[in-house]
């Protein structure tokens, strides 16, 4: 993590103002701290109460166990993929879902960059080999949508490759649906100041520093590029058969409980307790780009 101060200080344009941000400075700037929760048009002034969150999450995790038993018994399959900017909370949401599930049939897939062999294959091929068999749940921490957002912005694919992917993805996902697999696509959306705060937290927490990569630093000045890529991706791949579920994720607690509620309310599994699941907060979760800023 050692590098020069000059290399790690960036100038950002936020709300029309030039801001200097030094991720190595242990003091988080006031302009980041004060604006983080409200950034990106977040609709709440405070985070979800911690005790209320724990109570809601426990009830939802009991329902997830019921869902897994039903999937095992029925042979049904489930895929959920989680996308979003770096530090949006994808891994934490997946952890909350999987915490009490049997790991033998609930798998997390977080692929590194493709090998030389994988780079020569059909683009979707390395993801398909991780698809669930009967009774299984697979949760993708990033997915084939790397090619829709991260790769074109960071120069890892050509414009032609990205355009071809955006045309092929809806057809690929139609095959998943036609197979009878329950399929969910989540985009976790955060504001720019919240991303900076989370990056800074990672940089100065010895237990989380591994989460901060050189590519995260390189992407700091590409906020608008990622926004344009995200919007194009959603426009091309938000379909009736495989819609995007967008979650405002500045507050991780609200994001997690609403993501789980959506999963549980979308499947009519045995013993489902709708009262225990609760209602989705439409200020936090909706379909398509309606909640994006």
> Count of CB atoms within 10 A of residue 13's CB?
12
- CA-to-CA separations, 251 to 67, 189, 293, in angstroms, rounded: 26, 10, 16
Q: What is the pLDDT of residues 239-266, one digit of tens each?
A: 999 999 999 999 999 999 999 999 999 9
Q: What CA dihedral angle connects 199, 205, 209 and 215, to 10 degrees?
A: 10
Q: What is the pLDDT of residues 77-120, one digit of tens each?
A: 999 999 999 999 999 999 999 999 999 999 999 999 999 999 99
Least confident of 12-21, 179-188, 255-264, 274-283: 12-21
Domain-located, residue 10: no
Domain-located, residue 163: yes
Domain-located, residue 11: no
CA 43 to chain centre: 19
Domain-located, residue 33: no
Domain-located, residue 18: no
pLDDT confidence bin for 2, thresholds 50/70/90: very low
Domain-located, residue 53: yes
| Number of domains the chain contains | 1
pTM value is: 0.95
Domain-located, residue 6: no
Cα(148)–Cα(169) distance, rounded to whole angstroms? Answer: 9
Cα(219)–Cα(280) distance, rounded to whole angstroms? Answer: 32
CATH of the domain at 250: 3.40.50.300
* pLDDT at site 105: 98
Full domain range(s) for residue 101: 38-291
Domain-located, residue 4: no
């Amino acid at each position: 993590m050692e590098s020069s101060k000059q290399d790690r200080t960036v100038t950002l344009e936020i709300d029309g103002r030039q801001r200097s941000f030094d991720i190595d400075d242990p003091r988080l700037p006031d302009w980041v701290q004060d604006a983080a929760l409200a950034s990106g048009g977040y609709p709440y002034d405070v985070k979800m109460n911690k005790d209320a969150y724990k109570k809601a999450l426990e009830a939802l995790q009991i329902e997830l166990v019921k869902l897994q038993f039903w999937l095992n018994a029925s042979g049904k399959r489930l895929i959920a993929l989680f996308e979003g900017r770096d530090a949006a909370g994808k891994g934490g949401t997946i952890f909350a879902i999987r915490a009490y599930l049997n790991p033998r049939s609930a798998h997390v897939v977080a692929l590194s960059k493709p090998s030389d062999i994988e780079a020569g294959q059909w683009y979707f091929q390395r993801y398909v080999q991780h698809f669930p068999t009967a009774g299984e749940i697979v949760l993708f921490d990033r997915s084939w949508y790397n090619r829709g957002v991260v790769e074109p912005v960071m120069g890892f694919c050509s414009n032609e490759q990205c355009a071809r992917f955006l045309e092929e993805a809806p057809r690929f996902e139609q095959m998943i649906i036609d197979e009878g697999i329950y399929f969910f696509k989540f985009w976790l959306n955060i504001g720019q100041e919240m991303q900076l705060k989370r990056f800074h937290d990672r940089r100065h927490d010895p237990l989380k520093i591994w989460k901060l990569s050189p590519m995260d630093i390189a992407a700091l000045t590409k906020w608008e590029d990622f926004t344009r890529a995200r919007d194009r991706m959603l426009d091309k791949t938000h379909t009736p058969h495989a819609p995007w579920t967008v979650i405002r994720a500045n507050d991780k607690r609200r994001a997690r409980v609403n993501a789980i509620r959506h999963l549980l309310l979308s499947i009519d599994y045995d013993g489902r307790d709708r009262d225990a699941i609760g209602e989705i907060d439409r200020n936090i979760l909706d379909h398509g780009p309606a909640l994006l800023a």
